[in-house]
Structure 1
Amino acid sequence: MEFNEIADGLSDPVRRAWERSLRGGRAALSRRQLLRASALVAGAGTLAACGIPPARTTGTGAAESAGPDASDTDKVLNFSNWPLYIDVDPNDEAKRPTLDAFTAATGVKVKYSEDINDNVEFFGKVKPQLAAGQDTGRDLVVLTDWMAARLIRLGWAQRLDPVNLPTALTNLESRFRTTDWDPGRRYSYPWTGIQTVIAYNRKATKGKEVSSVAQLLDDPELKGRVTFLSEMRDTVGMVLLSMGKRPEKFTADDFDAAVARVQKAVDAKQIRKFTGNDYGQELSSGDIAACIAWGGDLIQLKADNPDIEFVIPADGYLASTDNLLVPARAQHKKNAELLIDFYYQQTVAAQLTAGIGYVSPVAGVQAELAKIAPEAAENPLVIPTPEMAAKVHTFRSLTEAEETDFEEKFSKLIGA
């Protein structure tokens, strides 16, 4: 399914939400922008875009999603992931050391494809086969939490066998264990975590710390030098937290109150604009003083400019995940489970984390990471401190009706 075909099937508010995040076209976007852009088009519109109705579901869908498993005789695994999302050999970028180690340990050869460029585009690729009850040709995929939730809801993901996941069951960090869209992690395991925090330029603020969303919204010294994110979940989620509301349990009235809170700051010209991760250049130059930002961006920004700081507000911060799932009718489910379990070994998780710089969901990884990448092991954007972990929140799953309603209101707020 091509970009224009997807866009043609979207309602106006959802289309505008997507387009504002796809500035300059997909070719110009980073992986983080693509991931965030695709998260704006959840709901019925994407199902209609390719002219294929939603699949019939049967509760968990577990019985219908399983197919014959050839893993015991066919030692192969077809793994689809995002670009730049696995460790590579610095002397030969065609080599992926952890995958090579998995093959050496299990005898399972991995066909690794970087063919997930955004959640919606990938969903369009695999939906015809999934809707028809056919194998997609992929045994393992990595999808963002809301899209992972959709596949599970539609019965298009296979329930994982805990017998094949002893290491993952033991080493999954506690804060990743509970989700409203996959209780008990029966269908998915996190690949990485992503953090939404506050960032500021110490030089631009003349040494003043910016430590709260309330400051971003009200501090007269920051007026006109603040940006918020054009991704609804992150901006509204952070504002909800500043208002004493939990993003996991907010109501429609809470959402409206958060939007009104931001609208007041827009009307007062406190907020300059809403952005994707293109805030980085302006933050680094000091053209903006402070913003809501994604942790993965800040690692490189701070490496280039020591004046860049980040803060976890006392109210808390937002986190999301990219997740490993086995699609319905996949032919090598056990092999996929073996790979999931392999990446939950601390030594393997450390090598992956050192290579990609995202938050690891594996408990105990810090000690191993310190042996190979000590700076990363001490970076709270890579290894959250216990104090940070205690403040993390997630944005709850939305119904299709909520998605349309909330995006329309958010689009109006940001002038999209």
Structure 2
Amino acid sequence: MDDEGKTYPTLEAFIKETGIKATYTEDIDDNDSYVSKVRPQLEAKQDIGKDIITLTDWMANRMIRDQLVQPLELIQMPNAGNLLPPLKEVSFDPGRNYSLTWQSGFAGIGYDKERVGKELKTLDDLFTPELRGKIVVLSEMRDTLGLIMQWQGVDIAGNWGKPEYDKAIEKFNQLVSDGYIRRIKGNSYLNDLKSGNALAGIVWSGDLFILRAETENDNWEFTIPESGGTLWSDNMMVPITSTHRRNAETLMNYYYDPKVAAEVAAWVNYVCPVVGAKQEMEKIDEELAQSPFIFPSEDYLTKNNIQGFRALTAQEDADYSAEWAKVVGN
């Protein structure tokens, strides 16, 4: 997207290059609400009007498990081989037969450093009386509760269970009842930050860089809490009802060209999943090529305790998601 937020240069270049008509829409506020809306249609084999949907790892797991997405013809997608090695053998899609990573990112603390007036290095710094009622948090359980669990000393990628989950839920409910949290939202949480109704929150890394550009305000700051941050990926998949799989695969292949991937990363500032994009980024912006938010090293991830939320069993997924839905009011 360009700085005016009205056009998508890489998508327009794809249309011009291939002659394939493609329209980008932002229909997904969060994974649960979107999939709850389209699942009945997909299960009934009814067209949902989408040829590519982009969902986070855990929801991609459900969609693949429930056979609601189509297998990819990787032979038609030579650039798919540019996927970063650590992302190739994910537990929910070994060999990546049904999905390709769109972007990855971190959840951490975002805030307007000028209006807040101090650095927010920890969740203790975030949840203070001065910011009571001015904090927005994500409705994605694995990010918001993940950060709270890390705050409580839990290894979220390791061996934890219901006692640790319940303790985090209890803490979250306390923060809500004490009036610290203004809103619990999906992608629309940025509106509260833009309007000034919220000054800080639990946010996604790339969004703060986009917020800087859209508001022309360089005071927006993103930081990984000292207790750690979460790592997630959003994944492109072709719905079971799409009749344009080949076109969808052509688009995915296009975005896995390192040059195109670097152009996208230069705008969104999320973790780029494409091998070779860093070298292309060096030609665009040397500073961005060195950004740990776009091209993080293993050392950076380890040093900052940035972890993926462990895979849940089907029963845990059902139980924890139902509990979280009650908490956030869904």
Report the equivalent of 2:193.
280
CA apart distance, 1:154:
1.4
Q: Deviations over 1:306-325 (max 9, x none)?
A: 33322113433123333211
Report the equivalent of 1:191.
102
Quick check: 1:296–1:358 contact (8 Å CA) kept in 2? yes
User: Which residue of the other structure, out of 128, 137, 151, is the alignment partner of 1:242?
Assistant: 151
Structure 2 CA distance for aligned equivalents of residues 226 and 97 of structure 1: 36
Q: Calculate percent identity across the aligned residue pairs.
A: 29
Q: Unpaired runs of 5+ in structure 2?
A: none
Q: Deviations over 1:302-348 (max 9, x none)?
A: 45333332211343312333321133365554554343233212101
Residue 350 (structure 1) aligned with residue 259 (structure 2): no
Q: Specify whether residues 413 and 139 from structure 1 end up closer, same or farther in structure 2 by C-alpha distance, changes over 3 A only.
A: closer
Q: Specify whether residues 330 and 343 from structure 1 end up closer, same or farther in structure 2 by C-alpha distance, changes over 3 A only.
A: same
Structure 2 CA distance for aligned equivalents of residues 301 and 323 of structure 1: 23
User: Which residue of the other structure, out of 241, 250, 255, is the alignment partner of 2:165?
Assistant: 255
Report the equivalent of 1:111.
21
Structure 2 CA distance for aligned equivalents of residues 92 and 302 of structure 1: 16
Say how many residue pairs are matched. 317
Report the equivalent of 1:167.
79
Structure 1 CA distance for aligned equivalents of residues 232 and 157 of structure 2: 12
Structure 2 CA distance for aligned equivalents of residues 140 and 326 of structure 1: 5
> Which runs of structure 1 show a deviation greater than 6 angstroms over 4 or more consecutive aligned residues?
88-92, 134-137
Q: Specify whether residues 252 and 343 from structure 1 end up closer, same or farther in structure 2 by C-alpha distance, changes over 3 A only.
A: same
Q: Specify whether residues 141 and 235 from structure 1 end up closer, same or farther in structure 2 by C-alpha distance, changes over 3 A only.
A: closer
**Structure 2 counterpart of 1:295, one-letter code:** S
What TM-score does the superposition give when structure 2 sets the normalisation length? 0.74
CA apart distance, 1:370:
3.7
**Structure 2 counterpart of 1:242, one-letter code:** W
Report the equivalent of 1:210.
120
Structure 2 CA distance for aligned equivalents of residues 137 and 413 of structure 1: 32
Quick check: 1:116–1:122 contact (8 Å CA) kept in 2? no
CA apart distance, 1:191:
1.3
CA apart distance, 1:377:
4.2
CA apart distance, 1:396:
4.3
User: Which residue of the other structure, out of 84, 87, 91, is the alignment partner of 1:176?
Assistant: 87
Quick check: 1:102–1:342 contact (8 Å CA) kept in 2? no
Report the equivalent of 1:73.
none
The CA RMSD over aligned residues, in Å, is: 4.0
> 1:93-132 maps to which residues of 2 (within 5 A)?
93=7, 96-98=9-11, 100-101=13-14, 104=17, 108-115=18-25, 117-118=27-28, 120-121=33-34, 124-125=37-38, 127-128=40-41, 130-132=42-44
CA apart distance, 1:237:
0.8
Report the equivalent of 1:65.
none
Q: Unpaired runs of 5+ in structure 1?
A: 1-86
